[in-house]
Amino acid sequence: MLQNKIFLNFSLEIIKIFLTVLFGLSMIALTVRAVNFLDLIVDNGYSVIAYFQYSLLNLLGISIKFIPFSFLISLSIFILKHQQDNEFIILWTSGVKKLSLIKIFITLSFLVSCFYLIFSTFLTPLALNKSRNLLNNDNFNSFLPTIKSQKFNDSFKGFTFFVEKKKEDQISNIFIHDAGNNLKNLSPNTKEDYDNTILAKSGVVKNKKLLLFNGKIISEKRNAETEIINFEQIILGLENLNTAVIKKPKIQETSTFTLIKCFVSKKNNNFCNKDFKKEIISTLNRRIIIPFYIPLLALICSLALIKTKKIYYNKYFIFFYGFIILVFTELAVRYTGLSSIMLYTFLLLPFLLISFIYFFLIYKFSTELKNE
């Protein structure tokens, strides 16, 4: 039928707009985040390959946040375009019911919701977890990029260093302080039970090795006993240094199954404690309940199809209503773990509003038919 062909073209057009908007917003956000990710190379010495892999793996976590907003924009653009071209008027006069078009919007919204649900519950936590494992498995590539002249650097756990001058791989007037026993495996001159401070006049950086000249090691024991060792030359192997990048998985990187298992568990441990369970509620709501707000956006956009001159049915106002819903979901989901009232409001609101707006549209469209 011609009507089915028209609706198919409409569906493909909305999907095309949705994917274009989603891709555009994701690329803009990724570009901004990628600048921050440069710290992995500059401050923490990771390889360029690790940087690009980490950025791409984080793309899913960035994109999923724009799915509801992209769908709202795609429907708004679609409705605005066809209203300006008077194509909808041609459809209504040819006998096509407005509810038929709304059913297309609702069907697409459920597809987008499923798309969101698959990504939020499975793919995104998996990708973010892989990005964290990437940092765990890919140690810093070179010590040289982490060195900045006349600036203290604490990019490595328990390891602080300072150089007065740096020219290519040559450094001078070096200060190194090890408060985390990092040096106990790096030099036979250092003591395992000591805090070690190294002062040197000059040095050369070769990838993960540091060659120091004319200096001394000041080793201070826990009981304040101090030992000083002078040296003409010393080689420090830096392979065992750990960057200060957080390597423990965050809650958004934890699988949905693990979060649910922790939530229903009555045991309290370091991972599943009372405070963490509150955060789990917010995370699970973000992953599972937010998709149900997407059909609500479809029905809110459908209000623009009502034939009226009242300003609050204006298509621009309707886009604003949808935007307010998105702002509400983003703010409310953060407090669902803290307040039972907010939790139940967040859970019930999409279903109540979907029912109300759908029957309101049926009433309005039936009234329009009676008045014609």
When mean pLDDT is compared over 44-48, 275-279, 349-353, the highest value belongs to: 349-353
Say how far apart CA 39 and CA 44 lie, in whole Å. 6
Give 162-215 pLDDT, tens digit per residue: 888 887 778 888 888 877 665 554 444 444 556 778 888 888 877 667 788 888
pLDDT band for 325, please (50, 70, 90 cuts).
Answer: very high
pLDDT confidence of residue 370: 73
- Check: CB of residue 187 under 8 Å from CB of residue 236: yes
Could you tell me which residue, 257 or 24, shows the higher pLDDT? 24
- Nearest CA to 171 out of 145, 196, 139, 189 is that of 145
pTM over 0.95: no
Say how far apart CA 56 and CA 36 lie, in whole Å. 14
What beta strand segments (E) does 43-169 contain?
A: 153-156, 159-167
As a residue count, the chain comes to 372
pLDDT confidence of residue 297: 95
pLDDT band for 310, please (50, 70, 90 cuts).
Answer: confident
Say how far apart CA 153 and CA 106 lie, in whole Å. 54
- Nearest CA to 55 out of 83, 36, 70 is that of 36
| Percentage, residues of the chain above pLDDT 90 | 27
Say how far apart CA 126 and CA 288 lie, in whole Å. 16
Could you tell me which residue, 273 or 86, shows the higher pLDDT? 86
pLDDT confidence of residue 113: 96
Q: How many beta carbons lie within 10 A of that of residue 259, not counting itself?
A: 23
Could you tell me which residue, 257 or 291, shows the higher pLDDT? 291
pLDDT band for 22, please (50, 70, 90 cuts).
Answer: very high
pLDDT above 80 for 91? yes
pLDDT band for 4, please (50, 70, 90 cuts).
Answer: confident
Say how far apart CA 221 and CA 196 lie, in whole Å. 9
Could you tell me which residue, 157 or 68, shows the higher pLDDT? 68
pLDDT band for 143, please (50, 70, 90 cuts).
Answer: low
Burial of residue 303 (CB within 10 Å: 0-12, 13-18, 19+) is buried
pLDDT confidence of residue 176: 83
Q: How many beta carbons lie within 10 A of that of residue 207, not counting itself?
A: 13
Which of 47-51, 67-71, 220-224, 333-337 comes out lowest in average pLDDT?
220-224
Mean pLDDT of all residues in the chain?
Answer: 81
Secondary structure letter of residue 338 according to DSSP? T
Question: What's the average model confidence in pLDDT over 126-151?
Answer: 68
Tokens at residue 246, please? 């957080």
Angle at 116 between CA 112 and CA 118, to 5 degrees: 115
Phi and psi of 66, rounded to 5°?
Answer: -95, 0
pLDDT band for 248, please (50, 70, 90 cuts).
Answer: low
Tokens at residue 158, please? 């328990």
Could you tell me which residue, 102 or 240, shows the higher pLDDT? 102
